[in-house]
A and B are shown apart, each in its own frame.
Chain A
Amino acid sequence: MLIGKVIGSVVATQKDEKLEGRKLLVVQVHNHVNKPLDQYVVAVDSVQAGPGDMVLYATGSSARQTTLTEGRPCDAVVMAVVDSWDLGGDNVYEKWA
């Protein structure tokens, strides 16, 4: 999975009907030292993530392995909201910091 920050959401009333009712989040990719990269993805939300949340998202066919996205045209799904992470014991990100 990769990590990113929810920087916005997408509203598309005219879309594939299989995606109706799914919240589309704009996620800017961050790397392991929490550096924002010049990359983003639009992912279906499956854990009620909101703007500003640091999240984990899965891509490819794995993204269709949720009750919300099974059998639907979806290749990216937010599957966790990150509280914190460390690298070799050094804290890199803390949601409450």
Chain B
Amino acid sequence: MYLARVTGRVVATQRYEGLAGVALQWIQPLDEDGKPMGEALVACSVVSSGPGDMVTFVDGREAALACPTTFVPVDAAIVGFVEQAVSKGVDLARVAGGA
């Protein structure tokens, strides 16, 4: 599981059945200082997250377990809406930007 900042939204009406109603959002993974880490990717979101929010996400096969229907081809899913994330004494959720 990693921290990430939601940076955008993807619209895709033609999608694998079972993914109906699942939001697709661009996320930028963050490191332990809240700075961007690695490449942005698209994750399913089951929490009401939107651009600018800090979240936790799961990647790999387990991501599908966060979706309403679990037998779906999903390898990244937002599973948490972060209010506070203290790392090295700093609350990263208060660090502006981050992506």
Contact = CB atoms under 8 A, between A and B. Distances in A.
A76 to B, nearest CB: 9
A81 interface: yes
Interface string A19-41: 00000000000011000000000
B86 to A, nearest CB: 26
The 4 closest A-B pairs by CB, nearest first: A87-B8, A80-B15, A80-B12, A62-B75
Contacts of A60: 60-61, 75
A65 B19 CA distance: 12
Given A80-B16, A80-B19, A81-B14, A58 B8 contact: no
A7 interface: no
Interface of B: 7-16, 19, 24, 26, 28, 39-43, 51-52, 60-61, 63-64, 71-76
B9 A58 contact: no
A62 B64 contact: yes
Contact of B7 (A32, A59, A80, A82): A32
